[in-house]
Structure 1
Amino acid sequence: MIRTEALRAFVTVTDHGNIRDAAEILCRTQSAVSMTLKQLEAELGGPLFESDRKSKLTELGAFVLDIVGPLLRDHDRALDLITGYARGYTGRLRIAAVPSVAALILPSILKDFVLARPEAEIDLFDTDSATVRHMLLRGDTDLGLASPATEPDGLRAIPLFTDPLVFVCNADHPLAALTRPLAWHQLTGERLILNETLSALAAPEFRSLAARSRLSVRNLTSLLAMIQADAGETILPGLATRALPQGVVTRALADPACTRRVSLLARDGRTPSPLAASFIDLLCDALPDMARRFDLREPYE
């Protein structure tokens, strides 16, 4: 059987015109390369070079080179692709994240991730937690960064951090003048605008307030615009209020249970691709610094 190593030695000698230079490239002795060529010629049943100088090919040698040269290049390229993919440097990664995480947590992480993987393709979708989960279940994305469902839904959740919820209102609102954390009874009668984050908030006092709400807005930009226009008030994760429009303020809530949980979500029973696994490692390494930077809490604190 003709070995790939023998064909590579033949092509390398042909490219350099002599055994000495080829031996250096192949990290082998000259005698080993010479013996490999003789064995290859024996396998083929004819000489590959016109003389011992290895500077001119026979008709057989020219034919073998025409066939083998492209095959070896394709072989090497295939191995590079396989190795790069297996080590998490190539491939395609689709990430869906809630807007606050996409805007504040991911930019610096993805910057380093992409710089180290110039051949990888990364798609980032920013949307609410419910849509993130639906995208994962449909197979439209590989990883999610969002709040987990309250009931089992076929997704695996790795807790990342918790984010305190805050009351968001127009700066002219009477509650904006208060400095102490707000209790639920102080929100009675407010024009609460619901958003998807609040679907996981189970406090009975909040559910009573939510039952009287007549307005729900899913998009964060639109929601803040409504508050800026004094069309109502809402409750949002603190991370989502880092860049508020003029005239919009936040106030802390007294209920310690008012938090948003953010987890790394993936389909249960599926092994992540090497590229996804590399991203998960980088994300987990960066989280402690991000938690200090944005005043986030440990998971489920």
Structure 2
Amino acid sequence: MVIKIEMLRCFTTVAQHGSLSDAADVLGRTPSAVSMMLKQFEDHVGSQLFETARKSRLTPIGDLIYEEARREVAHFENTISVIQGLSKSELGYLRLAVTPSVATAIMPSVIYRFCKKYPEVQIDIRDMDSAAIARDLEHERADIGIGTLPKIEGMNRIELFSDPFGVVCRKDHSLAKNWDQLSWQDMHEHVLIANGLCDLITDPDFKPILERSRLMVPNTASLMGLVREGVGITVLPHLAVTGPQENIAFLPLRNATARRTVHLVSQPQNILMPAAREFLKLITFMMREGVLGIKT
């Protein structure tokens, strides 16, 4: 018997919901039909995938198979989305994965120009951290990624821009009084709210400050909320603090070299869909012309 995508979808849905009846509701099938398909799948792999008949707990082999099945189902569903996008538009379907600061400060002007030229293209933009962008690119869940990204085998990578790190605090914070003389040493007596980008800073004077931090907040919106409330200060790249920020100040650091480099990563041109190729042309043109709206 050949393993079909419906078997994988059935198995992953039951594993996610922990019961046949709930999975049946999601899949639009009867519980008996779901149970029969699961039995066929278990017979094919030659192992029991659930510890009990209630399907609430996976066996060890079930856990391993679940991870592979989940990835395959996600890939299949993404492929279907692409096919549907191709049928709806002239150039196809464009999937972008970008960091929140890029989504806020850069994407609006680029997307405006792109949509004006190609109004029929279906676009999916997701903002996430750089590690998640890299995973989406590797698993073919995104056509183009923009963030602080490593080299990924088989993909093209160009440097889009870099921006300096600075201290982010309330405008009435004591550090904001003499901001033009601010250095790492001035931060020692203040509460630092760390974030995922802090790991990019290699300045030796920052290391002991980061080590003493007892707060770690990866989400930028939550991070800014804590800073705004006066819980502490943080360190972010300049672009992450652009736009209107009520009661928030970005303070450049004197004699500091720390910068965040943002890359654009994509599949090779010859296998990209037309929409993705046209988007790459547009954003690289805007970068060369200096009209991406980046002030660093």
Would you say the 8 A contact 2:237–2:259 is kept in 1?
yes
Residues 109/89 of structure 1: CA separation in 2 closer, same or farther (3 Å cut): farther
Partner residue of 1:227?
227
* 1:103-158 deviation line (CA, Å, top 9, x unaligned): 12111211121222232111001122222112212221111110123xx5535421
Take 2:220 and 2:105, find their aligned partners in 1: how far apart are those partners? 14
* 1:139-181 deviation line (CA, Å, top 9, x unaligned): 21111110123xx553542101111111101223211101314
TM-score, normalisation: structure 2: 0.64
TM-score, normalisation: structure 1: 0.63
Deviation at 1:254, TM superposition (A): 1.9
Take 1:172 and 1:119, find their aligned partners in 2: how far apart are those partners? 48
Determine whether 1:147 maps to 2:136: no
Residues 135/167 of structure 1: CA separation in 2 closer, same or farther (3 Å cut): same
**Aligned residues, how many?**
208
Matched ranges for 1:198-277 at <5 A: 198-267=198-267, 271-277=271-277
Deviation at 1:273, TM superposition (A): 2.4
Partner residue of 1:108?
109
Partner residue of 1:35?
none
Matched ranges for 1:176-187 at <5 A: 176-187=176-187
Partner residue of 2:128?
127
Aligned residue type for 2:105: L
**RMSD between superposed Cα atoms in Å:** 2.3
Would you say the 8 A contact 1:129–1:196 is kept in 2?
no
- Give the SS at the match of 1:294: coil
Take 1:268 and 1:209, find their aligned partners in 2: how far apart are those partners? 41
Large movers: runs of 4+ above 3 Å: 152-156, 267-271, 288-294
Deviation at 1:196, TM superposition (A): 1.8
- Give the SS at the match of 1:107: helix
Would you say the 8 A contact 2:105–2:293 is kept in 1?
no
Would you say the 8 A contact 1:97–1:124 is kept in 2?
yes
Question: Where do 5+ consecutive residues of structure 1 fail to align?
Answer: 1-84, 297-301
Residues 188/153 of structure 1: CA separation in 2 closer, same or farther (3 Å cut): farther
Residues 292/270 of structure 1: CA separation in 2 closer, same or farther (3 Å cut): closer
